[in-house]
Structure 1
């Protein structure tokens, strides 16, 4: 018998850190949160996103995805205490989930729009991987949890930022802890539009409605061809980066 793909009801309330809402046009809004407040990055959110993206990717009723955060912040804080980083076994699990997080995001076969509702200082590569990026004028980007904290930016940050910003700007961004505000992000091509916060989600929904009206296979195959280069880059670099991130992190206590 063929495998049965999940319906929206199967995963709509499955995740503690991700709110999922879908309208009649098939526009799926994915909102990160921590107990209904602005998202704080935790081990649970890290793992839940990996599997949530799988559920989204295998549900053919999703026409467009909007990725956003709660309140006035996309994700500006991290709870390091939620992660176990002290043994090779701990890192083996992080490598397992970390590869799936970005690969499963890229496996979503419909266009993804980021409605970036403020600072994205923790894993900003996730919204930046969207096909369309709409940012609030309060948005700031930084790779906070990695090199500034003595950790190799190997879980996709090294690939995404040197590709989006270019090699020179990308390396500078990762190695110096640089913060890029919304104006500079627009100039550098990190985001497509910058708007007042209250206009970001409505603009993302307006674009999603235009895309959702297109023929289903046009939507799906457009996403397939537009993400092919990301798939190649992650295949070549993601496991390599995570392994080196783990190796360096295990020496922090020496």
Structure 2
């Protein structure tokens, strides 16, 4: 459960998340690494959970705009704290109890991240400013989802690399686009363009890259004309069924993903799909 937070306390707390609060109560949350596109590593993953907890606990804001920076939303990966990928071999890369505890910690942060996004108590406009190929559930939990023309969605971090897509991808995509489309998307690693995502019902508007954030501000300023309690209770209304879906399936999916990773932990494969059977000769 989140706790009471105030803008002044968290605005400079996170190296990968910048915050700007407008005079009329609109909070802009921007993902970044050193002012450029976010490099998705374990620290930015864990900090995003805490950052959303702070946003969810801030009862002074009226609306959240959530977006990335630069060329993409989160299509750059660096899975170690220093931003580099671990060295091969892939198979048995984290054996024994230490590896299991690390996987359990990542699963815990994952659960907190998704629950905290849903605990945001004001309307959320997501701006997918470019490619998004990991943790697409975060922007898709927004009430309004805008995407740039060059954006796409893809889940390359799970099944294509030898992992169970159980960290919320199986929940959000089935919820938004239907079970059959979701299964195909997750099993094939399909690169879903912004326009296709709109046709599938996951995205509301597709705009030129230099216009998408301005459109979010336009919508935000229109929405906040409503009373604060109307804004909050409308968000609660809209998230109720999604919270129920996550309650029923997120823990189940994370458990299966975490358990299966004990057999095969594909860090050495980087961002690329497996090009051989999982137990063939190690990556080189």
TM-score, normalised with respect to structure 1? 0.95
SS of the residue corresponding to residue 120 of structure 1 reads coil
1:188 Cα deviation (Å)?
0.8
Q: Which moved more, 1:85-94 or 1:204-213?
A: 85-94
CA contact (8 A) 1:78 1:145 kept: no
1:72 Cα deviation (Å)?
2.0
The aligned residue for residue 45 of structure 1 is: 44
Q: Distance in 1 between matches of 2:244 and 2:199?
A: 27
Q: Which moved more, 1:156-165 or 1:221-230?
A: 156-165
Q: Distance in 2 between matches of 1:227 and 1:53?
A: 15
Q: Distance in 2 between matches of 1:7 and 1:81?
A: 31
The aligned residue for residue 125 of structure 2 is: 113
Correspondence list, 1:58-73, <5 A = 58-73=57-72
The aligned residue for residue 14 of structure 2 is: 15
Q: Which runs of 5+ in 2 are unaligned?
A: 87-92, 266-278, 280-284
Matched, 1:127 2:126: no
SS of the residue corresponding to residue 30 of structure 2 reads strand
Q: Distance in 1 between matches of 2:101 and 2:146?
A: 38
TM-score, normalised with respect to structure 2? 0.85
CA contact (8 A) 1:77 1:122 kept: no
1:15 Cα deviation (Å)?
0.4
Q: Distance in 2 between matches of 1:80 and 1:52?
A: 19
Q: Distance in 1 between matches of 2:208 and 2:6?
A: 35
Q: Distance in 1 between matches of 2:110 and 2:139?
A: 15
Q: Distance in 1 between matches of 2:143 and 2:108?
A: 25
Correspondence list, 1:83-102, <5 A = 86=94, 87-102=99-114
2:198 equivalent among 180, 186, 190:
186
**RMSD, matched Cα:** 1.7
**Total equivalences in the alignment:** 252
CA contact (8 A) 1:6 1:59 kept: yes
Matched, 1:81 2:46: no
The aligned residue for residue 90 of structure 2 is: none
Q: Distance in 2 between matches of 1:48 and 1:62?
A: 20
CA contact (8 A) 2:122 2:232 kept: yes
1:116 Cα deviation (Å)?
1.0
Structure exhibiting the larger radius of gyration computed from Cα positions: 2
